[in-house]
Structure 1
Amino acid sequence: MILTLTPNPSVDRTIAVATLTRGVVQRATDSRMDPGGKGINVSRALAVNGTDTVAVLPVGGPQGQVMEDLLRAIALPVETVRISQAIRANVGIVEPDGTTTKVNEQGPRMSADEVAALLAAVDRAAAQGLEWLIGCGSLPPGLDGSFYADLVRRGHAVGAKVAIDSSGAPMAAAVAAGPDLIKPNDEELEELVGRRLATLGDVVEACRTLIAGGVGCVVVSLGGKGAVLVTADQVAHARATITDPLSTVGAGDSLLAGYLHALTHGADPATALRTGVAFGSAAVCLPGTEVPTPADVAKIDVEVVDPVDLDLPL
């Protein structure tokens, strides 16, 4: 079973417009509302593709009620923790070519008791038997920057593998704790290693530095250039061509879900990367933060680049 923890979930409102023009009144061509937050997206993609998962998250305020209604409608297995402040409501504006402009709220400030209750919910879910524990997304205001590092240690203490998908100081602290997997995008990887990564070779070298420091595996999402996998003894690059993108929001979350889905069904890491790219590319073809079904994934033709072109510019 794969458990995801989303400390800073959101109700995601996606609005489609013909063209986004700053400073004028515009009419939407479409809109939708989805349960959002990286871990929730990962669990949604896992569940719809037949992998056992449970999503742990806080809920509070009017958006919390909407979140619970949205999760109930899709029958996603969840452990929710009631908090006093309202969770986030994020807005994404999508243009016809898939260009997405997002405005994300900061999120609620949780008390020490509420944080303890959130971690207790993780422990309850983990008692069912746990293969992977996934910590995903930003941290809400006031949550200690060591939160994901503590989660890595918590997961390892119960025998689970731990993956982290975050950014900034919380990601750096988690990396120092030695997670089994991290999934940054190229910009987040640059932030993590503190230098510009101009080529795929630069990305691979940065990943090797992190692995030498104790990270088990790094999967880096590269947008239209696919994704690269780096382990202590392996490098793989996979990509897919998408001609009609609808929304890039949540594509990286689907990539992570596809990678873990394949691993838990016995795939080797390189094959799992291919599946992850298929999931992420399928998500780009869907509106809002909708996650891909097996039928959506089956439509994607993934190219495994062999040999890996380390001179590929990013």
Structure 2
Amino acid sequence: MITTVTLNAAIDKTYSVKSFEMDRVSRVTDMIAVPGGKGINVARVARLLGEPVTAAGFVAGFNGQFIRSGLDTEGISHDFTEVPGESRLCLTVLDADNGTQTELLEPGPVIAENSLLTLKEKVKELAGRSTHVCFSGSLPLGCPPSLYAELITLAREAGAEAVLDASGDALAAGLEAMPLLIKPNEHEIVRLLGRPASSDDDLAACIRELMQRGIRHVVVSLGARGALAGSSGRVRRVAIPAIRAVNPVGSGDAMVAGMVTALRQGRSDADVVRFGAACGSANALQKQAGVVTDEDVERIFRDITVTDY
């Protein structure tokens, strides 16, 4: 089983408008509202890929009830920790005329110490039944930057591999616990190592440094340019085919789900990142974040090239 942990779960609401302009009324032509947050997107894609998965983390209030109910409807197993307050709304506005996306992200509930203790026990329990635990997204208010490191250690002690997709202080602290895989973007890896990276050569050097610290898989997403991926000491360039993206939100989460699925299937290091990149691109073809089809993934997978850097 794969367990995903979303500490700041949300309702992801996507508005489609013909033209979105500031300081005026916009008529929404289409609306989607689904359970969201990075880890929930990972869980959704993993399930669509045929993997057994359980979504965990914090939920609160009426929005938390919506998140649980929505996952039930989708057939995604979940085991959340209920906290006071209200889970957040994350709004995405897709502008069809200009090809833009605008995001508005609420902060979410404040997490108390007793809720953190409950979550840690739950992560230990779920990790004991999982091959991989994916920790994704921002930390809610009340959570210390060291929380991911603590949870990664608990997961590993319970026998599971840990994957971390975070940023800022949470990512930096989380590295101390040596997750199996991290997926920063080019801006995040620069901040993480505290030095400029103005070229792919610089990024490759950053990846090598992180692998030397003990991180086996380091994948730096580069948007439409694909990715640079380090695995077991080697760096590879991942080139993806051009697509006509509908909504790129959640593509990084879909990439994580694809890579973890490939790891569970025992694929080669090159095919792990290749399959992940195919899932990320396939997600961008859908209006809803965290959705892929087998047909899209297989078609894109065939057109992705992975070469030594």
TM-score category by the smaller chain? over 0.9
Structure 1 186/302 Cα, relative in aligned 2: closer, same or farther at 3 Å? farther
| Secondary structure of the structure 1 residue equivalent to 2:13 | strand
TM-score by length of 1: 0.93
| Secondary structure of the structure 1 residue equivalent to 2:188 | helix
Q: Distance in 2 between matches of 1:95 and 1:211?
A: 40
User: How many Å apart are 1:229 and its aligned residue?
Assistant: 1.2
Task: Deviation per CA, 1:167-213: give whole Å up to 9, x if none.
Answer: 01010001122211111111211221123322221111111111222
Q: Provide structure 2 residue ranges, at least 5 long, that are not aligned to the other structure.
A: none
Task: Deviation per CA, 1:21-58: give whole Å up to 9, x if none.
Answer: 11111111211012111111111100111112111122
Task: Deviation per CA, 1:137-174: give whole Å up to 9, x if none.
Answer: 00001101100111121122122211100001010001
User: How many Å apart are 1:69 and its aligned residue?
Assistant: 1.6
Q: Is 1:103–2:104 an aligned residue pair?
A: yes
Task: Deviation per CA, 1:218-269: give whole Å up to 9, x if none.
Answer: 0111110112211342122223233321111100000111111111111011
The match for 1:72 is 72
Aligned-pair identity in percent equals: 33
The 5 A counterparts of 1:4-43 are: 4-43=4-43
2:286 counterpart letter in structure 1 = L
Greater share of residues in strand = 2
Q: Distance in 2 between matches of 1:192 and 1:299?
A: 34
The match for 2:186 is 186
| Secondary structure of the structure 1 residue equivalent to 2:28 | coil
1:123 counterpart letter in structure 2 = K
Q: Distance in 1 between matches of 2:256 and 2:157?
A: 23
TM-score by length of 2: 0.95
Moved >6 Å (runs of 4+): none
2:127 counterpart letter in structure 1 = A
The match for 2:115 is 114
The match for 2:205 is 205
Q: Provide structure 1 residue ranges, at least 5 long, that are not aligned to the other structure.
A: 309-314
1:103 counterpart letter in structure 2 = L
Q: Distance in 2 between matches of 1:184 and 1:303?
A: 20
The match for 1:312 is none
Q: Distance in 1 between matches of 2:267 and 2:100?
A: 33
CA root-mean-square deviation: 1.5
